Amino acid sequence: MDRTHYIKDAIKGNVEIAGWVHDFRDLGKLKFVLVRDITGIMQVTMKKGVVDDRLLEQVNVNKEDVVSFEGEIKENKIAPGGRELIPAKFKHLNKVERKLPVDPTGHVDSELDTRLDYRYIDLRRKEVSLIFKTKSICAHAFREKLRELGFIEIHPSAITGTATEGGADVFPIQYFENKAYLVQSPQLYKQLAVIGGFDKVSMTVPVFRAEKHNTTSHLNEVTQMDIEMGFADHNDAMDVLEQVSLHMLKLAKEEVGDEIAEVFKHEVVIPKKIPKYKYSELIEKLGKNGF
């Protein structure tokens, strides 16, 4: 392994970290390398007379080179996270051979088409990686809370022989000799599971809608986080939805709340309860606010 610690866990002692060069400054007798991994950024400081001269000469890197450093963690109040690494060993694991089409630091903007063409570089941008981290936490929280509430997770097929609901077109596919469709919804499968005696089921599945659109708020493929309950009414469903939603917000705030506030300038707010309204009450509220 080319690391003993992720950056967020490299708190003290001798460690080896690995990641991408986020930034590099060469002041001759003093060099700084900011190394980034999925958990954060670590400043690596090399000063003549403090580190080996051969190491000082050896470290000549570009942004987004892949590197690893081994050394001792020292306190430094002006470094990211209040600490830095004084290296004793360095490995140049992979070198950037040409100018990158997307700037992972976000200092230089890129067109959306370029970002998508080079998505593996775009994923290194903190705004993008944070979205994926938050989504992972929320998916875990969704499963965790529903398991606590006695739900059984099922994994229904993404292929069906007929449309599962009206109001949306389906994507046809050839299923051997038969015509089939990508599912619009796991509705039929989850209802069959409840009828089969499972009582309460949950799932996280892809669903597909063959709807042409000209906005960024419509998707042809989404991940649906869904439940079905037997012996229950709409109030029971809303109670479960409230518990699960609040648990997802709680876990997101605990694990990435500070990052969200820093990157998106938005606090994760967790209400004590989610308000419930009748349809007529919402129509009245909308009317009073000019909608």
Considering the domain architecture, whether residues 146 and 240 belong to the same structural domain is answered as: yes
Domain that holds residue 226: 155-230
For the domain that residue 42 is a member of, what is the CATH number?
2.40.50.140
3-class DSSP assignment, residue 265: coil
SS3 assignment, position 123? coil
State whether 254 and 200 are in the same domain.
Answer: no
Report the pLDDT value the prediction gives residue 168, as an integer from 0 to 100.
65
223 in a domain, yes or no?
Answer: yes
Report yes or no: 252 and 228 within 8 Å, Cβ to Cβ: no
Read off the pTM: 0.87
Structure tokens at 205: 């599945």
pLDDT at position 165? 67
pLDDT of residue 176: 96
Here the tokens at position 71 are 């050394």
Distance in angstroms (rounded) separating the CA atoms of residues 48 and 56: 7
- Look-up: residue for tokens 């892949």? 66
Token pair for residue 272? 């004590």
Query: Which residues of the chain have a pLDDT value below 70?
Result: 164-168
Q: Do 212 and 287 reside in the same domain of the chain?
A: no
Pair 130, 244 in one domain: yes
Q: What is the structure's pLDDT at 211?
A: 84
Q: Is residue 46 part of a domain?
A: yes
291 & 253 share domain: yes
